[in-house]
């Protein structure tokens, strides 16, 4: 299996841009409005996102973007400034961004990535001069080669468009990639659409919405721990069945099939096609290698993991337990499941023991020779 290449977003991922913003805020306002600073930062960032694409595609000027995000963002929290003052604030903010540094923890993150993974790169939206200046201030040349730096204004395409991720993957040799970013819509969605694993750097504790990252962290220390775990243990994830992977699914084999304990994948896919409204089939991947299959029933508020197998070649590696956890998280996140069932053949004692280890318990419900294991969630 090829090693992962790790790509990072720049702003609010490699460094916390709240730090230069706070310094500019104190320079501009002195001791005034300090109680509004956290809300002001969030509002200005949000307003900036609203016009970022327009500014970087030439529909409005960069000056207009800066006026809009600072003036409107501050107005959102009850602070009034003029257009000229907004530009002065931007000048102070830009000056502070020239002095950004990596934290000691982030340096350790990058050391782990350089030493344990195939390569390290950066994919960032923004202007060439501003983003190149930030990378230089952070000393990123220590970890990232120039050929793996992708700045939207330089390559002519912005995240979340898949093209910029494909460019980066090609430059990295075409192997599996993982993206670390702070924006679910721009970073996580774009990378996931290209089949990449993703880590959401959620510094602000925001809600993910409908986008599902492979992993979510809320601090640089948690990111370090996550990447060290991935380096030591391949990441497990569920991927939707598609024309790109259904043939691989058909090749999966588990010894329990021969004992009539688990339906063949062919049967499960046919069942999912017939009962498509209430069935969710997924391939189970370790990094970029398919290792198993699972099908879940989601109809009538009766959530079930109805077919679950790990290929013979990948058993006893801990993949099953990790995949079950992902199934539980999926049913909770997508359907607010409070009870999950796993029907198991009554004579399949080993499978019952497996589900008990995952937190399930035996129930009194038995149908057609299957005992229903239950997991109750709060």
Nearest CA-CA partner of 241 in 208, 213, 214, 276: 276
CATH number of 236-376: 3.40.630.30
Terminal alpha carbon distance of the chain: 39
Q: Which tops the pLDDT comparison, 41 or 259?
A: 41
Nearest CA-CA partner of 278 in 295, 258, 257, 254: 295
- Tokens representing 193? 């659409």
- Alpha carbon of residue 358 to chain centroid: 24
Residue carrying structure tokens 């699914």: 249
Instruction: State the CATH architecture for 5-15+100-232.
Output: 3-Layer(aba) Sandwich (3.40)
Least confident of 3-7, 49-53, 133-137, 255-259: 255-259
Q: Which tops the pLDDT comparison, 316 or 361?
A: 361
pLDDT of residue 258: 47
Alpha carbon distances (Å) from 348 to 48, 199, 256 = 57, 37, 9
State pLDDT tens for residues 262-305.
788 999 999 989 988 999 999 999 877 899 999 999 988 899 99
Scored b (16 or more CB within 10 A) or e, 7-25 reads bbbbbbbbbbbbebbbbbb
Per domain, the residue ranges of the chain are 5-15+100-232, 18-97, 236-376
Mean pLDDT of 146-171: 96
- pLDDT over 90 (residue 235): no
pLDDT of residue 300: 86
- The pLDDT-based confidence of 2 (bands split at 50, 70, 90) is low
Are 295 and 271 a contacting pair, CB within 8 Å?
Answer: yes
- The pLDDT-based confidence of 259 (bands split at 50, 70, 90) is low
Phi, psi of 2 (to 5 degrees): -65, 145
State pLDDT tens for residues 74-106.
999 999 999 999 999 999 999 999 999 999 999
Phi, psi of 59 (to 5 degrees): -75, -30
Q: Count the alpha carbons within 13 Å of 206 in the hemisphere toward its beta carbon.
A: 16
**CATH class of segment(s) 18-97:** mainly alpha
- Tokens representing 158? 């912005």
- Tokens representing 216? 């979510």
- pLDDT over 60 (residue 348): yes
Least confident of 65-69, 128-132, 255-259, 283-287: 255-259
Dist. CA 167–CA 150, nearest whole Å: 8
**CA dihedral sign of residues 57, 63, 64, 66:** positive
In sequence order, the 6+-apart residues with CB closer than 8 A to the CB of 249 are: 241, 265, 269, 283, 290, 293
Q: Report the chain's mean pLDDT, rounded to a whole number.
A: 92
Q: Which tops the pLDDT comparison, 259 or 175?
A: 175
């Amino acid at each position: 299996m090829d090693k992962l290449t790790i790509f990072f977003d720049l702003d609010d991922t490699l460094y916390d841009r709240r730090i230069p913003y706070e310094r500019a805020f104190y320079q501009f306002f002195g001791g005034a409005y300090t109680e509004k600073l956290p809300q002001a930062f969030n509002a200005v960032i949000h307003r900036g996102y609203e016009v970022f694409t327009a500014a970087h595609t030439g529909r409005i000027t960069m000056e207009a973007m800066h006026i809009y995000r600072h003036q409107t963002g501050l107005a959102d929290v009850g602070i009034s400034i003029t257009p000229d003052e907004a530009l002065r604030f931007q000048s102070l903010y830009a000056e502070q961004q020239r002095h950004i540094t990596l934290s000691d923890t982030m340096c350790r993150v990058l050391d782990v990535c350089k030493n344990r993974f195939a390569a390290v790169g950066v994919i960032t939206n923004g202007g060439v001069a501003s983003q190149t200046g930030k990378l230089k201030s952070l000393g990123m040349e220590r970890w990232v080669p120039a050929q793996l730096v992708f700045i939207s204004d330089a390559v002519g395409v912005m995240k979340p468009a898949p093209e910029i991720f494909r460019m980066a993957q090609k430059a990295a040799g075409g192997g599996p990639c993982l993206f670390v970013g702070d924006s679910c819509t721009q970073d996580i969605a774009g990378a996931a659409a290209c089949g990449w694993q993703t880590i959401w750097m959620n510094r602000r504790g925001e809600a993910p919405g409908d986008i599902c990252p492979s992993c979510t962290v809320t601090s640089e220390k948690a990111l370090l721990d996550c990447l060290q775990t991935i380096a030591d243990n391949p990441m497990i994830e569920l991927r939707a069945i598609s024309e790109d992977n259904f043939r691989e699914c058909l090749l999966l084999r588990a010894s329990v099939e021969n004992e009539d304990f688990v339906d063949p994948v062919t049967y499960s896919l046919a069942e999912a096609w017939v009962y498509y409204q209430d069935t969710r089939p997924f391939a189970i991947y370790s990094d970029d290698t398919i290792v198993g299959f699972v099908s879940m029933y989601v109809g009538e508020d009766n959530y079930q993991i109805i077919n679950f197998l790990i290929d013979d070649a990948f058993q006893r590696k801990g993949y099953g337990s990790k995949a079950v956890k992902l199934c539980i998280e999926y049913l909770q996140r997508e359907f607010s499941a409070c009870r999950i069932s796993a029907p198991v053949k009554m004579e399949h004692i080993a499978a019952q023991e497996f589900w008990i280890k995952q937190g399930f318990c035996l129930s009194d419900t038995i149908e057609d020779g299957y005992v229903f294991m239950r997991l109750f969630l709060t």
